[in-house]
Structure 1
């Protein structure tokens, strides 16, 4: 059987995708021919214009559907409104940093809800569609922190470890179906949000841009290079290809060697 990477006729739903990693993945999947559904908690003209731009650039159908991923009914409604979900990318996430004894309960609840529980709801809604279609890909965006830990990020690390475990369970439950489930574990990704942090870090540490990137932001990333959103998109597109049909229930690290330490 010929190996193909074309995603023509497939629909990808990407949560948290009006910027950063999610948008990078959406663009790469559209480039491969998939119709895409963008998502975030906002519902602005810019959100819908972004979908229209992707549709025009790649000759696919692209839509934007608002959903608050902290709410289970919104998560399931997103999949239902999409109407078709051959590829599910669970990417939505937030972060908060504080010692455990000072960690606000509302922040813990929100991070667990958006970073972990939302994926349970979207997967539960999408699997029947995938089984009916006879094909499916579940890709959960975890983190190097889904495999390792750091201080002051208890909720984020708990959620990302949970995403890895959820991924393995989905893979086992779909092992006899033409459906795969995998987690991508990036290190530090150069997103617009991260880019905006660099000047503040330069001021705080009295360092140059290059020093901040190498010694502060990428202190645990041996390559000393950011992962890019395009690399994240390319990894997701590979996992959707026929070449990855027997890759399931695992993690793929895109972290410049972080988890090799």
Structure 2
């Protein structure tokens, strides 16, 4: 069988690489021979990048200048940016009435404004080379909503709009843009949500997993990060040149209802 993810070596910038999906994407790209700049706020993510053979750049992506700096670092190191994977994210669970304004702004800045600024900064390099792949890690919550996650859900819905706009503008220039919408993935971000959800709903943590996280899933398990990174690799490959403006659900059948 032909490996549909095979392509010439590229330069990728991946955000949110300390664990979970971002860490898996960095490993996947390095296995494919791509040069990778792993970007994360957490300095400990450097160890993960080093282990995978990737370069590391520490940045707080809620700062617009840091977004531009990350792209500049990739271009300085590798000469260009071919692939951008916007994955960095955080979560806060609280009813709208009690949701802290500062946390709302932080989530929107990190999960919607930063992907826009990173896309904007990487765009000229992709345009010059006539080839680019933008993969935005959205969420099943870019398709549906749940209580207590107003900022996260707003950011993810907005990310789908950004993806579609980038696809329309990038098509004539050889740039594609797609979003991936996973349900609950086995990551520290999800693990941290369990306790928050238990408090919000006054439930045991095991009940949160079974009755909330997997309630609407046809496949009753959490998703492995490598399952998401495999789709990222396809969407970032030459084989996916005709795929753009799409939202790819890896949601355990959640939205099949």
What's the TM-score, normalizing by structure 1? 0.88
**Offset of residue 216 of structure 1:** 3.7
Partner of 2:254: 258
Does the alignment pair 1:68 with 2:60? Answer: yes
Partner of 2:120: 124
Q: How many residues align?
A: 250
Which of 63, 71, 74 does residue 79 from structure 1 map onto?
71
- The equivalences for 1:172-183 within 5 A come to 172-183=168-179
CA distance in 1, matches of 2:113, 2:197: 32
* Structure 2, unpaired ranges of 5+: none
* 8 Å CA contact retained: 1:142, 1:164: yes
Which of 149, 153, 161 does residue 149 from structure 2 map onto?
153
- The equivalences for 1:157-172 within 5 A come to 157-172=153-168
Partner of 2:6: 6
SS for the counterpart of 2:243 is: coil
Mean CA deviation greater in 157-166 or 34-43: 34-43
- The equivalences for 1:1-261 within 5 A come to 5-43=5-43, 46-55=44-53, 62-83=54-75, 84-195=80-191, 205=203, 213-261=209-257
Q: CA RMSD in A?
A: 2.2
CA distance in 2, matches of 1:51, 1:206: 36
What's the TM-score, normalizing by structure 2? 0.90
**Offset of residue 217 of structure 1:** 2.6
CA distance in 1, matches of 2:153, 2:192: 23
Q: 1:202 to 1:5 in 2, by over 3 A?
A: same
**Offset of residue 161 of structure 1:** 0.3
**Offset of residue 152 of structure 1:** 1.5
